[in-house]
Amino acid sequence: MKFYRIVMRRYLASTWTGYGAEIYGGRWNHKGHAAIYLASSVSLAMLETLVHIQDSSTLSEFELFQIEIEDSHILLLQPQDWPADWRSDPAPATTMDIGTEWLELESSLALLVPSTLVPSENNLLLNPRHKDFQACLNSVKPLSFAFDPRLK
């Protein structure tokens, strides 16, 4: 399966480290646990990026990457396992607990989770500490990308 990640140019060196999620935490991980967040489509990656942008003048400072992850490396978080508050803002401890436990177990390279912005679509967490992580980076491709300047 193909997944997408949009990254600000100044953070390109740490694109595949999970450093941002490690220092700030994320919806599906606690601070102190590296994770790499991706989206199942370019448009979802755009939405997931735009929701965090506070200054529209930075829209020209992003790069897009595609990565392919084999289905056999992906664990699907089943809807019955989603906590009742999974869409809450800010992200609840319940979702962070689920993702952090998954990261610590290192049972799969990737975890497929629902997007809070578009619940019928998915985001993917990659575990940079998983034994198969380095090999999956061979499939990374930069793609031509620019946010439409009408987005403000």
pLDDT digits (tens, 9 = 90+) for 8-33: 999 999 999 999 999 999 999 999 99
pLDDT score of 69 more than 90: yes
In angstroms, the Cα distances linking 112 to 36, 59, 75 are 12, 27, 6
Q: Residue 152: inside a domain, yes or no? A: no
Q: Residue 123: inside a domain, yes or no? A: yes
The per-residue pLDDT for 15 is 97
d(CA 34, CA 17): 7
Q: Residue 29: inside a domain, yes or no? A: yes
Q: Residue 150: inside a domain, yes or no? A: no
Q: What is the mean pLDDT of residues 112-121?
A: 97
Whole-model pTM: value is 0.95
User: How many structural domains compose the chain?
Assistant: 1
117-149, pLDDT tens digit by residue? 999 999 999 999 999 999 999 999 999 999 998
Q: Residue 149: inside a domain, yes or no? A: no
> For residue 97, what are the domain limits?
2-143
